[in-house]
Structure 1
């Protein structure tokens, strides 16, 4: 199922429900049929999501160093998309909504 996030400050952001549930969980919200991230909640939401991205990048770097450093003949494998790439459109929306002092809605 696709979830569409809307705000007057940015283009709509659509994502699959499992990713929406994950990102909303990071910022302390629950995915329901309808919801809102109030403009006064945005600074904390942005900080939580940015922190999660930093942690994810650090864990990925540690994994690569731990499991692939110094391997001879190791074929580079496809790198899965990280949280930074998955969260970017949503994080950008949060930042734009914060600048415009507007709420973000979904399920409307």
Structure 2
């Protein structure tokens, strides 16, 4: 399921709900419907930037490492299997972060689910 973030300050940002959930949980917002006001946008930017910095400090999880080892282990279970391509939190958050910065700078709200 997709969530589409909208603001008069930037182009729409569509995002899978499962990916947006982590960001919205940080901001204490509901995934189905919500608003980040222009007044909240500054603190939202700071929170997302902090989480991006934290995610960069710990880029690969144990789960991803186990998956790669299962497909490329010593037993050669699947030698033709593609390596894991990780889309980082920073990459997923970038479009929303840019929208929030524009909303903050232009005094506009960001809404979704309406």
TM-score (norm 1): 0.79
Cα deviation digits, residues 50-87 of structure 1 (max 9, x gap) = 000000001128x8xxxxxxxxxxxxx54411111010
Secondary structure in structure 2 of the residue aligned to 1:49: helix
Deviations 1:22-77 (A, max 9, x none): 11111221212x2111111111111010000000001128x8xxxxxxxxxxxxx5
Larger of the two Rg values belongs to structure: 2
Backbone CA RMSD of aligned residues: 2.0
Between the aligned partners of 2:21 and 2:84, the Cα distance in structure 1 is 25
Report whether the alignment pairs 1:87 with 2:87: no
Q: Residues 33-44 of structure 1: matches in 2 within 5 Å?
A: 34-44=33-43
Which residue of structure 2 lines up, in the alignment, with residue 56 of structure 1? 55
Secondary structure, in 3 states, of the residue corresponding to 1:15? Answer: strand
Q: Which runs of 5+ in 1 are unaligned?
A: 64-76
Separation of aligned partners in 2, 1:80 and 1:96: 27
Q: How many residues align?
A: 95
Q: Counterpart of 2:29? A: 29
TM-score, normalisation: structure 2: 0.76
